[in-house]
Amino acid sequence: MEMPEEIFDKVVKIAQSRGFVFNASSIYGGLRSSYDYGPLGVLLKNNIEKMWWKSISNLEVEIYPIDTAIIQSSDVWKASGHVGEFTDPMVDHKPTGERFRADQVPDHIKKEDLTEPRQFNLMFQTNIGPVENENSTVYLRPETAQGIFVNFENVLRTMRAKIPFGIGNIGKSFRNEITPGQFIFRTREFEQMEIEFFCDESEEDKWFDYWIENRLNWYKNLGIPENKLRIREHDESELAHYAKKTSDIEFEYPWGWGELEGIANRGNYDLNAHQESSGKDLRYFDPNSDNKFTPSVIEPAGGLTRTLFAVLLSLYEEEELEKEVRTLFKFKFDLAPIQIGILPLSKKEELIEVCNSIKSELGPYFRTEIDVTQSIGKRYRRQDEIGTPYCITVDFDTLEDKAVTVRDRDSMSQERIKIEDIKSYFDNM
């Protein structure tokens, strides 16, 4: 039985060698905990995004999409409490000078070798405009939530929204983590999938439970096994300053349980804070009661790149064959970066022409690639390793019978399909 760290190393190796994730600035030696996403990584990430948007577009409540700026007015972060409160306790290792978050010190380091904890603000600060002074100070957003809150009234007005409703945003956030690590799990630049769901205070608990169930099911639908997921409720000492209640959806990573998504009851803290700071009325007018009130907020906030990593770890498998070990990612058809590989048996021009014709027919509907390099067996293994669910093989018989061989990734079974029926075959997946 393989140890968890072995699985971690294998998945990271495949991710980097097959074009899922690259070390950023690699030709210059890289930058710690900074990553670029290669062609397959971008496709996988895009598919996760699409599945997220799709999952929240078919609910009994309305979720409005928004895309907010990375750089907001510094007043946003002052009002939200981030300038003063968005900190982690940091300690130094006296013998080496190495720094750690106080709750993430390696077990082998003695407590007496550490400095006293001091608070470290996680926001990246920069300046806007030609002159650097305190009036030009801005921050790269540490979360997407505040961009949603400051647009609450805009969405309410333009969409004529009625409570309960949500506003969803996918985008990059930045945190100057003290101890980033574990590949793409904890990085200083990352992507979030976040909803702020506005409801009546009397229905907080109902919607809190609703979103926990909804989001947990979504991760299961990605193919992550149920036994690799759990719900962990925060105790009072863990709660953020704005939160009434928080539960995390956690995934069992090779090093232990780690957060995929937090579901927080933020109450009306944020809207009240921005209303007080900006002087703008951010209350909701209820036409039924003829009253104005500040809604409560339930926030499901997940990590897109963490989810991608959890998917890679969950769906990686090894199979013992007679003469080799087959490695593969068992992505669902909708999730797979490449859904269909098209493989000519040889590089003969007449076979390539058929492959191009099939790609032209399937390309508008499915993610396809033509793979011509190496033997057919090695190409099957490559497609298995990047998680392609089906391969179409074009051989010399194809020129006569106008049929191709379709190979299933999981069972490795093959069946002969007429070219004219190939699109309808995959339409049913």
Domain boundaries, the chain: 4-86+122-313, 338-427
User: Residue 58 contacts by C-beta under 8 Å, 6 or more apart in sequence?
Assistant: none
* Under 8 Å between Cβ of 303 and 175: no
Question: Residues of the chain with pLDDT > 70: what percent?
Answer: 99
pLDDT in tens, 305-321: 999 999 999 999 999 98
**Residue 1's pLDDT band (boundaries 50, 70, 90)?**
very low
C-alpha 351/C-alpha 346 separation (Å) is 7
Least confident of 174-178, 361-365, 421-425: 174-178
Greatest extent of the chain over all pairs of C-alpha atoms, in Å: 79
pLDDT at 196: 98
C-alpha 235/C-alpha 269 separation (Å) is 19
Rounded average pLDDT over 151-166:
97
**Residue 85's pLDDT band (boundaries 50, 70, 90)?**
confident
C-alpha 196/C-alpha 80 separation (Å) is 15
**Residue 252's pLDDT band (boundaries 50, 70, 90)?**
very high
Question: Residues of the chain with pLDDT > 90: what percent?
Answer: 80
| Tokens read off for 175 | 């945190």
pLDDT at 3: 57
- The predicted model scores a pTM of 0.91
Rounded average pLDDT over 414-425:
96
Rounded average pLDDT over 289-298:
95
Rounded average pLDDT over 221-235:
97
Asked whether this chain's domains 4-86+122-313 and 338-427 adopt the same fold, the reply is: no
User: Residue 316 contacts by C-beta under 8 Å, 6 or more apart in sequence?
Assistant: 7, 10, 11, 14, 327, 328, 329
Q: Secondary structure of the chain in the HEC alphabet?
A: CCCHHHHHHHHHHHHHHCCCEEECCHHHCCCCCCEEECHHHHHHHHHHHHHHHHHHHCCCCEEEECCCCCEECHHHHHHHCHHHHCEEEEEEECCCCCEEEHHHCCCCCCHHHECCCEEEECCEEEECCCCCCHHHEEEECCCCHHHHHCCHHHHHHHHCCCCCEEEEEEEEEECCCCCCECCCCECCEEEEEEEEEEECHHHHHHHHHHHHHHHHHHHHHCCCCHHHEEEEECCHHHCCCCCCEEEEEEEEECCEEEEEEEEEEEECHHHHHHHHHHCCCCCEEECCCCEEECCEEEEEEEEHHHHHHHHHHHHEEEEECCCCEEEEECCCCCCCCCCEEEEECCCCHHHHHHHHHHHHHHCCCCCEEECCCCCHHHHHHHHHHCCCCEEEEECCCHHHHCEEEEEECCCCCEEEEEHHHHHHHHHCC
C-alpha 344/C-alpha 350 separation (Å) is 10
pLDDT of 175 > 50? The answer is: yes
Rounded average pLDDT over 44-57:
97
- Domain 338-427: give its CATH code: 3.40.50.800
Choosing among 3.30.70.2740, 3.30.410.10, 3.30.930.10, 3.40.50.720, the CATH entry for 4-86+122-313 is 3.30.930.10
pLDDT of 287 > 80? The answer is: yes
What is the chain's mean pLDDT, rounded? Answer: 93
Rounded average pLDDT over 15-43:
95
